[in-house]
Amino acid sequence: MMNIPNYTDVERAHKIVQKYAHRTPVLSSVSINQIVGAELFFKCENLQKVGAFKFRGACNAVFSLSEEDAQKGVATHSSGNHAAALALAARMRGIAAHIVMPENSPEIKKKAVAGYGAKITFCKPTLQARESTLAKVIEETGATEIHPYNNFHVIAGQGTAAKELIEDKGHFDIIMAPVGGGGLLSGTAISSKELLPACKVIAAEPAGADDAFRSFHSKKWVPSENPKTIADGLLTSLGERNFSIILDKVDDIVTVSEESIVEAMRMIWERMKIIIEPSSAVPLAAILEKKVDVQEKKVGIILSGGNLDLGKLPF
């Protein structure tokens, strides 16, 4: 039996997370609302610590460890936001973070993870190399593995973003999130369905990385193979726990084109004056493509993060 978090676990996570994470603002745009014919409310996790929602889950996982386990440290393999989030959460608790990163990771991400005090082990840029190197690090250190999304405490922590959104703005007809590994989406679904049972939970995914879309609609897990998208935070396959929650609580998953992702990203930059990464733009892209009927509805959108290489902007 898989251990699946419920809303009580999200509430427990929130007591931890709110001590260390930002309660991020919820913003809206009159001009975007006019364009789409709906009331959109954006939960700005791009303004979260380390620039992404990932800090919530990492924080809950680190501070939920027993004192005995914590002293051995935590470990993961990641080249992105989860690596930085886990490193910062571990530093806050005063314990070691062991991060396995592919040697071809962007320099800015290597510097960020090192800057938070993590011990980095580099490996070849293959999943097999990442997993075998991590296994070796855990064997040598006794550290606890904190998976980026297929982890009980991580999922519960990610659910705190939707909990805050609903507490701050009340009823919603639809709540949307992007989907990659499914940590944010599964946590969002747990909170949304508990607090607003009639609210639809809808995820958006790039058409070039549509494993969650295919998994959801076939009801069978489909791996992510050779994904191609500008939304680099959404390249991973769904986690086992995440897929189970998504099948139970999510109403729909839709896909969007690369052109729409760029259009939505640019729209938020220009009209809301905030920096988001491509993954964050995917739900708005689905609305612009009319993949989701939002006419005259109140819609909450989790903006997942704001970390990107400004030298490689798509516009």
Q: What is the DSSP string of 248-265?
A: HH--EEEEE-HHHHHHHH
Active site residue 132: no
Question: CB atoms < 10 A from the CB of 263, how many?
Answer: 18
Which residue out of 49, 54, 109, 200 is catalytically annotated? Answer: 54
**Rounded-to-integer distance, Cα 293 and Cα 300, Å:** 13
Closest among 187, 188, 234, 241 to 212, alpha carbons compared: 234
**H helical segments located in 99-210:** 107-115, 127-141, 152-169, 183-195
Active site residue 79: yes
What is the arrangement of strands in the sheet containing 252-256, beginning at the earlier edge strand? 26-27, 39-44, 298-303, 174-178, 200-206, 252-256
Which residue out of 79, 186, 280, 304 is catalytically annotated? Answer: 79
Q: State the pTM of this model.
A: 0.96
The per-residue pLDDT string of the chain (315 residues; one tens digit each, 9 = 90 and over) reads: 789 999 999 999 999 999 999 999 999 999 999 999 999 999 999 999 999 999 999 999 999 999 999 999 999 998 788 999 999 999 999 999 999 998 988 787 888 899 999 999 999 988 889 999 999 999 999 999 999 999 999 999 999 999 999 999 999 999 999 999 999 999 999 999 999 999 999 999 999 999 999 999 999 999 988 899 999 999 989 999 999 999 999 999 999 999 999 999 999 999 999 999 999 999 999 999 999 999 999 999 999 999 988 888 999
Which residues are CB-contacts of 166 (< 8 A; sequence separation ≥ 6)? 172, 175, 191, 192, 195, 196, 300
**Rounded-to-integer distance, Cα 270 and Cα 259, Å:** 16
At residue 114, φ and ψ (nearest 5 deg) are: -65, -40
